[in-house]
Structure 1
């Protein structure tokens, strides 16, 4: 039987479900997220435990997506004109990228895989033409 724990006046008798790894690993991961959200006000984290990623609050986009858009547009000005993003959100994405370049580059690289590689990894996906 799992631990019994007092929660809001009710007793918990089933085991608590934790992410893979130890409780200390979960605490460490959540602490790292808390540090990053304090260093970069305007970001939050989303996704399941295995693939948590930072996103920009109010933009609805992951930081790597904004960074990829910055690369793909001719200029920041055209990006600002053609999207709902603000200059502050672009600066936030760029600042985060400078602090965590490997994380952002890996996400962009994964997204830019050729269609054949995506199909090999995920045979159930369908591509939509622009």
Structure 2
């Protein structure tokens, strides 16, 4: 996945092929909201409705998952943890098993299982977010020449 590619439910890769078009009527309140979102985000009204529907469908499929962040980079997170799904999956890799992750953190088994299930269904989205987080220091310095580094404190 390209480093500039968007990850999250609004991506073409996440949606897959398009279905047949259909029309619908929105309530006045919802129509005003969609129109304002389209204007604010410089997207079509259809694109706004599609993104909202995609997030709603995912939240129904995975109760306990919600979305946050800017429009271009909305991220799935596990409600009640403060962590994005990709962060839980990355922590799982560090701890090697769900049991060790649950024992070594404040996460419960349900949160870990939920993140694993979401990752299994949307691996490109979650793997892309983890790859973005692991950008090499040389690449970051090239992009941001004045970046400062803060040394990590030694463990006690």
- Name the TM tier (shorter chain): 0.7 to 0.9
**Aligned counterparts, 1:92-107, within 5 A:** 92-107=114-129
Distance 1:29 1:87, change over 3 A: same
Q: Which runs of 5+ in 1 are unaligned?
A: 1-5
Q: Which runs of 5+ in 2 are unaligned?
A: 1-27
Distance 2:62 2:75 in 1: 14
Structure whose residues are more often strand by fraction = 1
Q: What SS is found at the alignment partner of 2:107?
A: coil
Q: How far apart are 1:73 and its partner, in Å?
A: 1.3
TM-score (norm 1): 0.81
Q: How far apart are 1:121 and its partner, in Å?
A: 3.0
TM-score (norm 2): 0.68
Distance 2:73 2:149 in 1: 22
Distance 1:101 1:40 in 2: 15
Q: 2:67 aligns with which of 19, 29, 45?
A: 45
For the aligned residue pairs, the C-alpha RMSD in angstroms reads: 2.1
Distance 1:83 1:123, change over 3 A: farther
Q: 2:41 aligns with which of 10, 13, 19?
A: 19
Distance 1:121 1:42 in 2: 36
Tell me the equivalent position of 2:110.
88
Q: What SS is found at the alignment partner of 1:18?
A: helix
**Aligned counterparts, 1:73-84, within 5 A:** 73-84=95-106
How many residue pairs match? The answer is 119
